[in-house]
Amino acid sequence: MTQANSNGSTIRASTVESEPPTIAIKSLNHVYFDYQSKKTVHALKDVELEIQPSELVTVVGPSGCGKTTLLNIIAGFIKPTEGQILVNGRPVNKPGKDRGVVFQELAILPWRTVYRNIAHGLEIQKVAKEEIERRVRRLTELTGLEGFENHYPHQLSGGMKQRVAVARTWAADPEIILMDEPFAAVDAMTRQTLQEELLSLTVRTGKTVFFITHSVEEAVFLGDRVIALSARPGRVKADITVPVSRANRSWREMSKNDALQECVEDVLELVRGEATASDRSGGAVSADRTHEA
Amino acid sequence: MTTLASTAHLPVGERIKRIVLPAVPFVLLLAVWGSAKFVFDIPRGILPDVISVFRVPFTLTDQYLAHTIASVQRLLLGFAVAAVSGLLVGLGAGLSRRFAEFIGPLSTFMNAISGIAWIPLAIAWFGIGTPMVVFIIWNSAFFLVLGNTILGVRLVPRVLEQGLFTLGASRFDVIRHVIFPGAMPHIVAGLRSGLGFGWRAVIAAELVGATVGLGQWIFIAQEFRRTDIIIAGAFTIGAIGLLTDRGILAPLERRTVERWGMAGRAT
Amino acid sequence: MKPDDVAKGRSAVGSEAGTAALHAAAVPGAVTRVARAGATLRPAAPFLIALIIWWGAWALLRPPDIILVPPNKVFSALLDLVRQGLLDAFIKVSLERLARGVLVGILIGVPVGWLLGLNEDVSRAAEPILRFFNAVSGIAWLPLMILWFGFSERTISAIIVYTMAFPVIFNTMLGVSTIPNRLPNACRTLGAGSLRIIKDVYVPGSFPSVMTGFRLGIGYGWRALIAGEFVVGGGGLGFLIFNARTQGNIAEVMGGMIVLGLLWLMIDRLILSSVEQNIIGRWGLMRT
């Protein structure tokens, strides 16, 4: 377990120097004016982070710590006040198909069928029809959506809808996938299934994933590394490497594995202090979410 | 810290935008109107001077006030009758499913024969003048208030009613504390559209069936080619429509619908 | 897999039982037929009662013919109009005017609504002036339109277009601006450009709201049409009832009103609400 100092400059980053990291976040600061509370909000402070190819990095932190803002900046929806994001060494300034996003709230199109939602990114990239069919079929298999191709989203359960969102993002085949609490709105049982499915999907496809959550268990269960953000202004408080390989994880395993449990305890300890700190500061708790909407 | 300072100016720019942006189209309109008149030398019988329009209330004060007051009085009278009658019948109908089912189709049909279509028959019944116009306003607004009230009452969740009954409430308590406030979003929506339709109906009714009133005034002005009076009258009609809606009913909607956090917007 | 089969079997049994029950009920067929006829006739009941009240009031008061006539006279007046070929001619004139006005109103309203919905600065600039001119009802411009275009078709078209445009603009704008940001954002991460996002997100997403605007707009336009025909004339149902009044022919006035109402219900129900319901039924309730 490697633990970072409070500046967030990780020990890992310095050890891998041969090629540029997939994502590099450099001295990032973000300040914005919130029209609802009529206050200037310092959302992120001096964030430094590097993510290597095929890594799955999860980010936890108290509500309102700027997690979603960070994701929106990487996605290119928001321009940071200071600092920059490098993807494979090139600076990011707008959304692109190299970075797919799975949103917390449902962002699939209600007027397209499951099939056409999954195919959407491929249609945009003008992929040949047969190729689209092949890839959609593969992803409906991987995500358990077979038989639902001609359904409209409103005919599906919450978990199924989120599977469509995941499948659509994977179908477009981006190098990086950003996920913003994608399973927060589904029931607990479905969530565990979706999490296990996501693990096997990422292991099979080797995508680089940046995953935001407020659940420490989820963060540890899914991540190669867990980044703990502090209360606002969000800083990288710790960068923890999860001690078990992602390939052999399951929820059954999770409850039995002492190393994983210990890791959960460690992160909980870190985040718990922050949660009470953010409560005491009394700020708009859900600010990072309202900002996006 | 420098970045903090650079974003701090944003709200000020925002404030300027809020004032300037809405004014731009009005200024543009007046500029186009004024310059078109000047460039193409449009006669006064087609388009008046900008200034002459805004002078009408001051040069023809007596007429202007008399016609405006006549129209507004009719609107308020007709609307008040429509609101009260529509609410009472609507509450009654909403409380009895049978009556609601009975009156529903009839009310839909009567609403389809809008107030304006009644003007000829109303002239035959009441002659030309205020009673005719008031009848047309009532006719335009009543069925809208009625329909929306019935809908509102029907949509109040049964659970709320039952909840109060278990507390030992009387039927009247339930109507007062549950059904009426619960139906309020729809009732207010009905009142709002009733007032809007009523005001349009006033103008149409006065156009063909009155001796005073803004509608009649601008219609007569057409015969004398007094475009300044027509436009001044039309602007006044718009201003009164906006004032009654924004000044009375929009605040009412805000106080009930929005404060109670009820989304009764979809009609 | 086993529980699945069991469930299937059970549901099949259930459905068999259901059809059996239906057959059983259908045996004393006459009874259900009467009940079904009663159910379809029920909406007609209030109209029957209204007719009886109307007829009763007439029989009781015996008002002169220029005030009120009994239903049978209205019916025969309508028959006369049909026989003379006037009724369908007037309906045709009115519907043509409405169609022309609606078409132009949509062609203006939808693009403007789009522009306002997509650009926040433009909508903030334009909304107050649009609200103001919307409050000046189209009917109030009749006198000026008469001075500009005379007692002509153009005058009627102008006020229908004017009346129609505002609800179309406002609803289109609402439809476009209430699409949650995450939908176009998600498409952007799939590599979509602005045109693509407009085509795939904003057009279908705003469609139900645009349809609501059409429906409201056609309703307002219909009223403007009637008022326009009162004043301008030149045929049409509004002209029919207004002209009949000046001749003291109340039977024709009331007949014309009934036709107006029926025609409007047909336009509203058959065309518009069916389109609306299809869309909302397929996509699910999207206006949250």
DSSP states of A204-269 as a string?
HH--EEEEE-S-HHHHHHH-SEEEEEPSSSB-EEEEEE-SS-GGG--HHHHHH-HHHHHHHHHHHH
Residue A263 CB-half CA count within 13 A:
29
What integer is the mean pLDDT of C89-108? 94
Q: Residue A213 and residue A179: Cα distance in Å, rounded?
A: 9
The total domain count for chain C is 2
Range of the domain at B17: 2-38
Residue A147 touches chain C, beta carbons under 8 Å: no
List residues bridging with A240 in a β-sheet: A226
Of A103, A154, A168, the CB nearest to C182: A103
What integer is the mean pLDDT of B28-57? 89
C36 and C127 co-located in one domain: no
Residue B152 CB-half CA count within 13 A:
32
Query: Given the structure tokens 């006719």, which residue do they identify?
Result: B139
- Contact flag B119-C261 (C-beta cutoff 8 Å): no
Using a CB-CB cut-off of 8 Å, the residues of chain A touching C205 are 109, 111
Angle between helix C71-83 and helix C250-266 axes, rounded to 10 deg = 80
Residue A36 touches chain B, beta carbons under 8 Å: no
Average pLDDT over all residues of chain B: 84
Task: Band the pLDDT of A278: cuts 50, 70, 90.
Answer: low
Tokens matching residue B113: 């024969």
The total domain count for chain B is 2
Structural domain includes residue B43: no
Mutate which of B32, B97, B114 to disrupt the C interface (most C C-beta within 10 Å)?
B114
Q: pLDDT at residue B3 above 50?
A: no
Q: pLDDT at residue A95 above 70?
A: yes
**Percent of chain A clearing pLDDT 70 (strictly above):** 87
Of C182, C205, C286, the CB nearest to A105: C182
C40 and C116 co-located in one domain: no
Query: Given the structure tokens 């069925």, which residue do they identify?
Result: B143
Structural domain includes residue C66: no
Q: pLDDT at residue A4 above 60?
A: no
Domain with CATH 3.40.50.300 in chain A: 11-98+176-292
Structural domain includes residue B266: no
Average pLDDT over all residues of chain A: 82
The CATH number for B178's domain is 1.10.3720.10
C41 and C75 co-located in one domain: no
Q: Residue A289 and residue A287: Cα distance in Å, rounded?
A: 5
C26 and C141 co-located in one domain: no
B25 and B73 co-located in one domain: no
Residue A172 touches chain C, beta carbons under 8 Å: yes
Using a CB-CB cut-off of 8 Å, the residues of chain B touching C257 are 113, 117-118, 121
Residue B19 CB-half CA count within 13 A:
5
Query: Given the structure tokens 């704008």, which residue do they identify?
Result: C173
Structural domain includes residue B48: no
Q: Residue A159 and residue A106: Cα distance in Å, rounded?
A: 10
Of B119, B208, B225, the CB nearest to C147: B225
What integer is the mean pLDDT of A217-244? 87
Highest averaged pLDDT of the listed ranges A30-44, C9-23, C222-236: C222-236
Cα dist from A228 to A184, C69, C202, whole Å: 18, 84, 38
pLDDT of residue A234: 84
B109 and B23 co-located in one domain: no
Task: Band the pLDDT of A271: cuts 50, 70, 90.
Answer: confident
pLDDT of residue B11: 63
* Closest B-chain CA to A81: B3
- Contact flag C250-B124 (C-beta cutoff 8 Å): yes
Residue B2 touches chain A, beta carbons under 8 Å: no
Q: Residue B111 and residue C38: Cα distance in Å, rounded?
A: 25
Average pLDDT over all residues of chain C: 82
Task: Band the pLDDT of B2: cuts 50, 70, 90.
Answer: very low
Task: Band the pLDDT of B96: cuts 50, 70, 90.
Answer: confident
- Which CATH architecture group holds A11-98+176-292? 3-Layer(aba) Sandwich (3.40)
Query: Given the structure tokens 């306002």, which residue do they identify?
Result: C116
Chains that touch C (3 or more CB pairs under 8 A): A, B
- Contact flag B3-A31 (C-beta cutoff 8 Å): yes
B34 and B135 co-located in one domain: no
What integer is the mean pLDDT of B59-66? 92
pLDDT of residue B258: 61
Q: Residue B180 and residue B256: Cα distance in Å, rounded?
A: 11
C144 and C276 co-located in one domain: yes
Range of the domain at C81: 71-283
The CATH number for C156's domain is 1.10.3720.10
B8 and B110 co-located in one domain: no
Structural domain includes residue B223: yes
B72 and B9 co-located in one domain: no
C33 and C113 co-located in one domain: no
Structural domain includes residue C185: yes
- Please report, as a single letter, which amino acid is at residue B10: L
C236 and C201 co-located in one domain: yes
- Contact flag B7-A29 (C-beta cutoff 8 Å): no
